[in-house]
Each structure stands twice: as structure tokens, then as C-alpha cells.
Amino acid sequence: MTSTTDPTVPVPVRVPATARRPKVGLVSGGLGAYWPQFPELLPQLRRSAARVAERMGAFDAEVIDVGFISDAQEGAVAAERLRREGCDLIVGFLTTYMTATMLVPIAQRSGAPVLLINLQPTEAMDHATFDTGAWLAYCGACPLPEMANTFRRVGVDFRSVSGYLEDENAWRRIGRWIRAAGVRAVLRNGRHGLMGHLYPGMYDVSTDLTMVAGQSGGHVEVVEFDDLRVRVAEVTDDQVAAKLAETRDVFEVDESVVDDDLAWAAKVSVGLDRLVADFDLDSLAYYHRGLDGELHERLGAGMILGASLLTARGIPTCGEYELRTSLAMLVADRLGAGGSFTELQALNFRDGVVEMGHDGPGHLAISERRPLLRGLGVYHGKRGWGVSVEFDVKHGPVTLVGLAQTVDGRYELVASEGTVVGGPLLAIGNTTSRVDFGRDPGEWTDAWSATGIHHHWALATGHLVEDLRAVSDLTGLALVTV
């Protein structure tokens, strides 16, 4: 992976991890002793199972449906198939009463989180006309306590959703678990790039790479700015021209942008595309200080355009060597909420808002307006010069998503829901948003800081705390909310 590539070969378009669909195993079942007793029951339950499979297929997931089981032997066969499939979530549909022996092997052997769903045919039974066979089709709740007790005793975590087949509230909850499984999958299977070195003095952002693998899974690929340097050196004039055309299509280019700086940023962007493809990265965090305008300093200062374009494609890229924030951005993006690199900027007590953003990469897909490229003579606190991204996150509900580290080294998800509102913004080449948390800005800032959150986080669209609770459950990462 460290060798250079032929510049005559087009830069490959990499499919980001956030676009990879999680695998969800589905098994439906009921007690086989009922079938000869009530001949119409099994066909009805199979119809319910087919409807569940149909609705599951509408989610952003690959559904592995192993069919309907009626006893422990069939459950063991289903367990083996689901084990081979390597699922990210197992969904067990309790169509009627079934014994725990039918599902426990599936839960034990798959190694995946388990979701039990109890969806009866309609909102309520027709008590006046129902016989025993008709009632049994509504009896999916009956085995749920049995499953819960047995799963706990054998040491298998599970969660459940109860409702009826066309219960939209139940399906929203099911969707939440499927999205959380997608986050778990992208963390466990992702490749996370770390390029350069720590911003001097920032203890809070330093990250133990072993702890990333140990607590969230995945792989951290340590790359050098020289890996970028050799790829940028190979970029052709035609590739730069194509990237400039893409840039002008995406951005409004301010008159302050110097043509040579924009061309350099476009060249670095092409090199970044190649770097991400060559190292098969799902996220990237970077920083390099540099000195006296030498090449590595220019590379670091030229990253913002390419990093923003990568982030918009679902490959979160952030500065200041903030690996845990690039992971938080990845979580937010997998939830379909974007996730822009963010820090505190100022408190506005007159308007009751907290102003936050960053000078550097932003998530272009969640911009309120067409993002602006502005020329900067200097980046605050950093060396170099060039172009930077300026925009406001979409107005409406938002969630801050961070990944903090505790004194014992454990990672925690940290979140706070608010609303981005309009108003005056600085025009200095920063991403900036005015967030109303419904309380005094100073009090909110103190509470947010008290969580142990570090310098940066992801600013994502929508209210996500309930989704993050599901992510916390499936990943084992504690969730702290403000």
C-alpha cells in the first residue's frame, strides 16, 4: 500500500463504509406442535413472516432470511447458516409461542446482537369470533418473557420490539436498531487513517490506537504526509482541471481565493482521493505543522478542499489529528445525519445561542446553502495559507456527537440535541452555526464541558439521541447526554 501508483490510471472511486449495507439475519418461528392441531395457523404465520421480510427489505440493509423454524433442530440449522453469513444483527420474529431452545443456539453461535420482534397481525383480536387457533396468531408476546429469562441466564444480551404488523411506531423502533447495527458494523470493520502528528500540547485529542481496536473495533492505518506527497507529485494537469471543475460545481468561489492556491488545493484533493483509495480508508484524521513554507506545510494547509469533498462522500476527514472525532463523524454519517467537524467558537447571550464550527473541513452535504470557498492568508493557530470552507449547517434540529475518553481509558458517546437557527455569522472562512439548546448558553457550555468531551465533535442534522441509545446498546459504548 505504500508504493506510488500509475498517474495515467484514473483515481478509483471508493465505496465508503457508510455506503456498505449491514447484514441483518432474519429468522421466524413458532411451535411445530400447533400445526396439526390448527391447520390454518401455519399458513397465516408464514404470511406474517413474508410481510416482515418485505418490510425489512425496505431498510438500508442486506437481509439474510433463513425462513421459518418449527423446532429446535430447525433452529440449529438456521443458527449454522447465520453464523456463516457473519451478520451484524439477528432479528428473531416470534410469530406465536415458541420455546427458548429454538432461538438460543442462533443467538449463541452468531456472535451478533439479537433483536426479538413480536408483531401480531392487527392491533387487537376479534374476541367474539376468535377460536384458539386464531388467538395463537396473536401470541407472539407469550414467549418473550421466556426468551428474556433464558437469554439472560445463558449470557446473551437482547432487545425487543413489540407491536403489530403495520405498526409504524414499531417499525420506527426496528429501523433504529438496524441503523445502530450499521454503525456497529462500520466501526468494527472500518479502516481509519491517521496522518501526521499530534497538534502540540493538545492532550485531550491524543488517542491510544490499541484502544480504538479494543473498544470499537476496526483498524487504524498510520500513514505519513510523505504518502500524500508522492501521490500529489503524480497528479496530472488534466486531473487538476477535472477537480477544479468539480469544485466550481459544488462551491461558490469567493473573490478572495487566489487562483494558484485553488489549483494547489485541487491538486492535493486528487492526491487525497488516491491516498484514501490506496489505503482503503473509511475515515481520516490529520495534522502537520511544517516550517517556513516547505512542502509538507503546504500539503497540510492545502487539505481543506479535498477533506471536505471526501467527508461529503461519506469518508469523514478532519484536522488536528482528531481520530476520535473522525470516528464520531463516521457514526453520525452512518445514521444518515452527516456530521461536520466542530468546536466551540463563542457564546451569544443576547440571542441565547452557542456559536460553533471550525476553520477547516466541513460536511458539505449538510450545508444550509451552497458552501463558500474563501481565501485565507493565515489559519488561526496553524501554519500555512490557502483556501478554506465557509457554511452554516442546515437550520433545524441537530445533535452534537462526540467520542470522549474517561480516566480509565474507556470511550463514551457524548451527545446533546439542539436547533440551528439563523442569524449573523462571521465571514472568515469557518464553518459556523448558531445552536439554540433551549437554555442559558453559559450553563449549557459548562454542562457540556463537564461530560469530559474533548476539543472537537461532530455536528449532525436531526435529533439522534434515541438512535445513539441503540448504538450504545449494540456497541457497549456508554452514552452521556446533555
Q: How close are the terminal C-alpha atoms of the chain, in Å? A: 42
Please indicate, yes or no, whether residues 222 and 84 belong to a single structural domain of this protein. Answer: no
Contact present, 430 and 345 (Cβ < 8 Å):
yes
Given 160, 187, 214, the domain boundary residue is 187
Measured distance CA(353)–CA(223) in Å, rounded: 39
Please indicate, yes or no, whether residues 163 and 213 belong to a single structural domain of this protein. Answer: no
User: Domain holding 296: CATH number?
Assistant: 3.20.14
Please indicate, yes or no, whether residues 122 and 199 belong to a single structural domain of this protein. Answer: no
How many Cβ atoms are within 10 Å of 302's Cβ, its own excluded? 27
Please indicate, yes or no, whether residues 129 and 219 belong to a single structural domain of this protein. Answer: no
pLDDT at 73: 94
Find where cell 462571521 sits. Answer: 426
pLDDT at 385: 67
What's CA 268's distance to the chain center, in Å?
26
Please indicate, yes or no, whether residues 204 and 106 belong to a single structural domain of this protein. Answer: no
Contact present, 311 and 286 (Cβ < 8 Å):
no
Please indicate, yes or no, whether residues 383 and 305 belong to a single structural domain of this protein. Answer: yes
Find where cell 434540529 sits. Answer: 397
Find where cell 447465520 sits. Answer: 82
Helix boundaries (H) for 203-283 = 209-215, 225-233, 237-250, 259-278
- pTM of this prediction? 0.88
Residues of the chain whose pLDDT is less than 70?
1-19, 377-385
**Mean residue pLDDT across the chain:** 89
| Strand arrangement of the beta sheet that strand 252-253 belongs to | 252-253, 372-376, 386-390
- Which residues, other chains included, contact 374 with Cβ-Cβ below 8 Å and sequence gap of 6+? 254, 256, 257, 387, 388, 389, 390, 427, 428, 429
Please indicate, yes or no, whether residues 206 and 95 belong to a single structural domain of this protein. Answer: no
Please indicate, yes or no, whether residues 181 and 109 belong to a single structural domain of this protein. Answer: yes
Residue 322 lies in a domain: yes
Orientation of helix 303-312 relative to helix 259-278, angle to 10°: 50
Please indicate, yes or no, whether residues 164 and 209 belong to a single structural domain of this protein. Answer: no
How many Cβ atoms are within 10 Å of 218's Cβ, its own excluded? 20
∠ CA 320-321-322, rounded to 5°: 90
Residue 229 lies in a domain: yes
How many Cβ atoms are within 10 Å of 461's Cβ, its own excluded? 23
pLDDT tens per residue across span 253-302 = 988 888 888 999 999 999 999 999 999 999 999 988 877 778 888 898 89
Given 187, 217, 248, the domain boundary residue is 187
HSE on the CB side for 59, CA within 13 Å? 26
pLDDT tens per residue across span 70-98 = 999 999 999 999 999 989 999 999 999 99
Contact present, 388 and 307 (Cβ < 8 Å):
no
pLDDT tens per residue across span 39-49 = 999 999 999 99
Please indicate, yes or no, whether residues 44 and 167 belong to a single structural domain of this protein. Answer: yes
Contact present, 312 and 364 (Cβ < 8 Å):
yes
Contact present, 26 and 116 (Cβ < 8 Å):
no
Considering only CA atoms, which of 312, 308, 360 is closest in space to residue 333? 312
pLDDT at 263: 93
Residue 7 lies in a domain: no
Please indicate, yes or no, whether residues 420 and 408 belong to a single structural domain of this protein. Answer: yes
> Which residues span the domain enclosing 476?
190-481
Find where cell 478509483 sits. Answer: 12
Residue 213 lies in a domain: yes
Residue 159: strand pairing partners:
115
Measured distance CA(90)–CA(181) in Å, rounded: 10
Considering only CA atoms, which of 242, 247, 240, 323 is closest in space to residue 281? 323
Residue 323 lies in a domain: yes
User: Domain holding 142: CATH number?
Assistant: 3.40.50.10940
pLDDT at 120: 95
* Number of domains forming the structure of the chain: 2
Measured distance CA(101)–CA(104) in Å, rounded: 6
Residue type at position 26: L
pLDDT at 178: 95
Given 137, 158, 187, the domain boundary residue is 187
Please indicate, yes or no, whether residues 175 and 211 belong to a single structural domain of this protein. Answer: no
